[in-house]
Chain A
Amino acid sequence: MIKLQHLNKTFHTAVGEVHALQDVSLEIPEGSIFGVIGYSGAGKSTLIRTINLLEKPDSGEVIVDGENLTKLSSKALEKKRQGIGMIFQHFNLLKGKTVYENIAFPLVYQKKKKKEIDAKVKQLLELVELSDKEKAYPSQLSGGQKQRVAIARALANDPKILLCDEATSALDPQTTGSILKLLKDLNKKLNLTIVIITHQMSVIRDICETVAVMENGRVVEQGDSYSIFSEPKEEITRKFVETVFHNDDITGLLQQKDLQEKFIKGDRAYHLVFRGDNANRPYIAELVRKFDLDVSIIFGSIEFVSDKPIGNLYVIVNGNERIVREAISYLRQEKVIVLPVTDEKYEEKAS
């Protein structure tokens, strides 16, 4: 369990003060995969680096497994860090050492027996599926392979926690997928707590159970991934979610004035979000049958978040205003999220 309490960090730079962390508090449960998303400069990298105190917070506390890291002596902190693995965007492997030597490095430092090291390294190589590359140098590996070596090295001390600082940002989508799958497996196999910092919402979608959204050094929204994806509350979260659902274009399109002018009288555009339990029911047919409305579907998509579906549907509804309102309140009763797209857009979402 990682507990961050009221963390503050300000960098004094030539262009002025940068508040990288402003009163950030988070709790990361043991064995979970926790994501932190934000644009660059949001403070998420600073946040993850405070967990193993690579970055010392100006104030606040970092508590890992009941131990307050900010109070530890440097020797004790070194010991503690051995129980927290970390991987990076640019892998940070030792260029002058082979894959084997890289993975063995933290073990050699601890003066473990040669036999013991050999067994551990072989086992880790197998775990990350790189047994045939032990004699290769990092420069001979692809990005994905380098990250696998980095993961193996980070796991050499059998840590309970793995910190991933933009670990997939330098990789292509396919390799990203395979690394994320590996992380998910490790989480299950080793009950590893994984903290992931990223700017890619797809990473959150694919493996994170819980997510915190950061903006300007603050956590602006957090919750389980499924609710964040289906009901984003903050503007920035909505933007991130749209990058995954690919509906950012359609919202923009529907809000264009000249397109709206082409609507016939009584046309209203809505964005309907169906969550797991009600995604299978024929709501559109009900709208037509029960309320006698004209419904045209403009755009639809289904994404799986935490292995549960979220359906997005963009429709234009035509009919009597009173009936439309009735229909909408019916849908809302049924736990379908109804967001008006035209005019007010999302503003009247809470009703």
Chain B
Amino acid sequence: MKEYITEFLNRFFPNIVELQRYLFTSIKETLIMIVITGAIGLTLGLIVGVVLVTTGKDGLYENLKFHNVLEKIVNIVRSIPFVILIALLVTFTRFLVGTSIGVKGAIVPMVIGIIPLGSRLTEQALSEMDKGVMEAAKAMGISKTYIIFHVLIPESLPGLIRALVTCFISLIGLTAMAGSVGGGGVGSFAIRYGYNRYMTDVTIVCVLFLLILVSIVQGIGNRAVNKLTH
């Protein structure tokens, strides 16, 4: 059995077999990038999203001037193509983490790139919340901060998880893009070997890996949503 597999791999994925050490490193790099930027970027995105909703019209801390400024900033960052954002942030990235290439260098623009999307999706998920429920909490004499953490966010959890899944999947896309400009990870691996050296099998394996990753994230997300929807 084992020989068959080895033969199969040697025949159809010769480059992968040869480069398997690099493949595993780049998978590891991709996962690290996603986890770190996911943790930092999506937390910040969530915070910005909550701020957007609560300062918006009829929000708990309505402040339309502040809301509009923040919204403009989010829109501007969001409208910059990611590849250009990386270039734009080079100095800042170097200042912050000492380098603008590799996994470390990719994380900074990725975090900044994912915040606008994260905050927008958070805002959407939170604004679907029934205003009456928050009003009921207010009528009970419950403080605004408690309402945010114990009513607004928990009640919007299914929507927030859906948003989170979408963000993670975009993040996977961003890692691949970051890879193409020296960020490391599966993206960079696919470009360097699959594209530049015409090693189609490398490209295919990279695509397969990303597909599996996306399906896993989506699957976990769907499960969580089902569990939380009553």
Contacts and interface: CB of A to CB of B under 8 A. Distances in A.
Contacts of B155: 94-96
Contacts of A153: 140
Interface stretch (B30-38, B114-122, B143-151, B187-195): B143-151
A54 B135 CA distance: 8
Interface secondary structure of B, over-half rule = helix
Contacts of A92: 130, 132-133, 135-136
Interface string A285-305: 000000000000000000000
Interface secondary structure of A, over-half rule = mixed
Nearest to B130: A92
Contacts of A54: 135, 138-139
A90 B154 CA distance: 20
Nearest to B156: A96
Given A54-B135, A88-B132, A94-B155, A78 B228 contact: no
Interface centre among A90, A95, A137, A163 (most CB of B within 10 A): A95
Contacts, number: 67
Contact of A78 (B133, B142, B157): B142
Given A92-B130, A92-B135, A78 B230 contact: no
A178 interface: no
Contact of B139 (A52, A97, A109, A138): A52
Contacts of B81: none
B140 A109 contact: yes
A11 to B, nearest CB: 12
A81 B141 contact: yes
Nearest to A106: B140
Nearest to B132: A92
Chain A interface size, under 10 / 10 to 19 / 20 to 34 / 35 or more: 20 to 34
A10 interface: no
B142 A95 contact: no
Contacts of B154: 94, 96-97
Given A96-B155, A109-B146, A81 B140 contact: yes
A88 B130 CA distance: 13
Contacts of A139: 230
Interface centre among B135, B140, B146, B154 (most CB of A within 10 A): B140
B184 to A, nearest CB: 40
A255 interface: no
Given A96-B157, A138-B230, A139-B230, A90 B140 contact: no
B158 to A, nearest CB: 8
A139 B155 CA distance: 13
A94 B135 contact: no
A6 to B, nearest CB: 24
B130 A96 contact: no
Contact of A94 (B133, B139, B143): B133
A88 B136 contact: yes
27 contacts: A54-B138, A54-B139, A79-B141, A84-B139, A85-B139, A86-B139, A86-B140, A88-B132, A88-B136, A90-B132, A92-B132, A92-B133, A92-B135, A92-B136, A94-B133, A94-B154, A95-B133, A95-B230, A96-B228, A97-B154, A105-B150, A106-B140, A109-B140, A109-B150, A137-B230, A138-B230, A153-B140
Interface of A: 52, 54, 77-86, 88, 90, 92-97, 105-106, 109, 137-140, 150, 153-154, 157, 163
Given A94-B133, A95-B230, A106-B142, 15 more contacts: A80-B141, A81-B139, A82-B140, A85-B139, A92-B130, A92-B135, A93-B133, A94-B154, A96-B157, A106-B141, A109-B150, A138-B230, A139-B230, A153-B140, A163-B139
